[in-house]
Structure 1
Amino acid sequence: MIAIEQPIPEPEGFDSRCRKRGTAWLAKNASPTRPADYWSEFRLDLAEGFKNRCGYGGMWISSGTVDHFASCDERRDLSYEWSNFRYLDGWINSSKKNKKSSELLDPYIVEDGWFEIILPSLQLVLTDAIPPELRSLAEATLKNLPLAHDERLVRNRRAWLKEYEQGNLSLQGLKNKAPLIAKAVLKRLSDRPESGEVRAHASSIALALQNASFEAQAVIREYLRDTAQVHGPACVKVMVWAYGEDTFPLKELVDMGLGLRRGRFVDVVVQCEGRYPLDTAFKAAVRAAEVLSEHLGHQFHAADGRD
């Protein structure tokens, strides 16, 4: 579980098309009839608020569901209230149907650092950062929901970690998709003997890559704004390279799984979204190389992104 940025704005039209419409339905239909589904229309708005990550799984999901934190059976009056909705993977939503809200930690109250992923087991555990008054509820949540070590979640965690370790996903990209896995990776690096130096290097590299990704994405965004579709060969990644020995920052890039060494050269994929032509990828790579060179004090060069 991870912190959810609050508040998630109530979407336009929700009051009339869900809350008021649902309240009218409740007035005409007595319990125990399940309330009519007027909330799914706003599922994508909820997903955006959760950054497309499951509220309990804490990882990116392709298609989630609208969960009623207090179920319709428990709090029928909250069936159509935006504040009662959480974005969950479907199978996790199903696993909590018979649980009362008082038996579960609300994703909306979770703060950074309350949970962590242990490597290499990829199990979810509590930390000492959880307030004492909520610890028993947090422990109950891990017992009542299959979050700690269920194979379905562990498999997903392993997949995201593999994407990062194989260089298909930057550290920032991993943070966006699976924040707790990214924190576990940084902790693994910081646990080495040279922990202080590694932490400083990891932080500076992560910041440099984040800025490079932002600047490269701006180049691509400008192209996409002016062009309706990609003509010719499409590219889905922006690449840069550098030449040098196993010293900062190249050694750290390789150690962190962000760079792939080829002899005296190191290739780095800069995380960008969308599909774009090779010439646009190269322009974005030029900008990314400039940013990395400026931030890390080593000369980076643009590549065209072809495999």
Structure 2
Amino acid sequence: MMRFQRPPEPDDFDAKVRQPGNAWLSGNIHLKKISFKNHTYWTKCINQLADGFNGFCAYACIQPFSGVVDHYLSKTKHPNQAYEWSNYRYASDKLNQYKSDLEQDQILDPFEVEDDWFEILLPSLQLVGTEAIPAHELERAKTTLDKLHLINGEWIIKTRARHYKQYNEGKLSIQGLEQENPLIARAVKRSQDYYQKGNEFYNCEDYQSAIQNYNQAIRINAVYAEAYLGRGKAYYQLKNYQNALTDYHEAIYQNPELKHFFGEV
């Protein structure tokens, strides 16, 4: 997940959705179970809602095959919110089904999460929570990941894998990856940033700080050959030859073209 800004209510929303919806609802609010079939006025605003989320599912951060209007507060449990723009999130049809009647105390709101609460790990492409999630939100974060299958749901992983492959093959630039899958692009950029910081510390002969940054690059991208190489060189400077050798072997395993660096040790 990532933070989305709340899109403004469309000018024609009140006339097309709220008024006819609430007019119908007022005559049925007394029913124990309200059926909204044939009264899905919210579908009239789906295009504006999708635009408000740049076409991304609010939960998976992927452009869905079939997008729907998600009622953040369940319309069956909160019928008075069925026709309110503020209650709508754009979501894939599949995730909307997963979410079903889960309540707000169980599922995180895409308008409230922070950008550093979740990250993609490479190359597994699994979405995980970070240490930045506040303690009081940990349970909701876990439920959101589990119930919506955001960690490694089949269709989500397949979509992430397709985009990541296109990037690695040069068919998508980092800017293109951001447009297709912003969470993967963020992971790539963060791992590269840590790697560059590691290089800067290495060049300043601050090898411990270099190792710390290489560690972060590798934590995000477990197959980052150059980061293993950099960390190995830093370990070598600290005379930790065993760790240096281990990292050199891993670097060459991930990228055999780095073999020539062994001649520098």
Decide whether aligned partners of structure 1 residues 33 and 172 sit closer, same or farther in structure 2, where only a CA change above 3 A counts: same
Alignment of 1:35-184 (within 5 A): 35=36, 36-184=39-187
Indicate whether 1:15 and 2:18 are aligned. no
**Greater helix fraction, Structure 1 or Structure 2:** 2
Distance (Å, rounded) in 1 between the aligned partners of 2:162 and 2:17 = 37
CA shift, 1:195, in A, is 3.4
CA distance in 2, matches of 1:63, 1:143: 21
The answer to whether the 8 Å contact 2:77/2:101 transfers is no
1:118 offset after TM fit, Å?
0.5
More strand by share: 1
Shift of 1:163: 1.5
Q: SS of 2:136's equivalent?
A: helix
Deviation at 1:60, TM superposition (A): 2.3
Structure-1 separation of matches of 2:187 and 2:198:
14
Q: TM-score, normalised by structure 1?
A: 0.61
**Number of equivalenced pairs:** 198
Q: Which amino acid aligns with 2:43?
A: S
Alpha-carbon distance in structure 2 between the residues aligned to 1:80 and 1:189: 44
Residue segments in structure 1 that go unaligned for 5+ positions in a row:
199-254, 256-307
Question: Which residue number in structure 2 is paired with residue 242 of structure 1?
Answer: none
- Partner amino acid, structure 1, of 2:60: G
1:7-49 Cα distance to aligned partner (Å, 9 max, x none): 3110121001111111100012243232210011110100011
Paired with 2:196 and 2:182, the residues of 1 have a C-alpha distance of 24
Counterpart-to-counterpart distance in 2, 1:141 and 1:193 = 33
Which residue identity is paired with 2:58?
A: G
SS in 2 for 1:33: coil
Secondary structure in 2 aligned to 1:102?
Answer: coil
Residue equivalent to 2:2: 2
- Aligned partner of 2:261 in structure 1 is none
Residue type at the aligned position of 1:14: F
Q: CA deviation at 1:132?
A: 2.0
Contact persistence 1:34–1:72 (CA under 8 A): no
Report the TM-score, using the length of structure 2 for normalisation: 0.70
Question: CA RMSD for the aligned pairs?
Answer: 2.0
Query: In the aligned structure 2, how far is the partner of 1:9 from the partner of 1:52?
Result: 15
C-alpha distance after superposition, 1:140-176 (max 9, x if no partner): 2112221111121111111111121122221112112
Determine the C-alpha separation between the residues in 2 that align with 1:104 and 1:59: 18
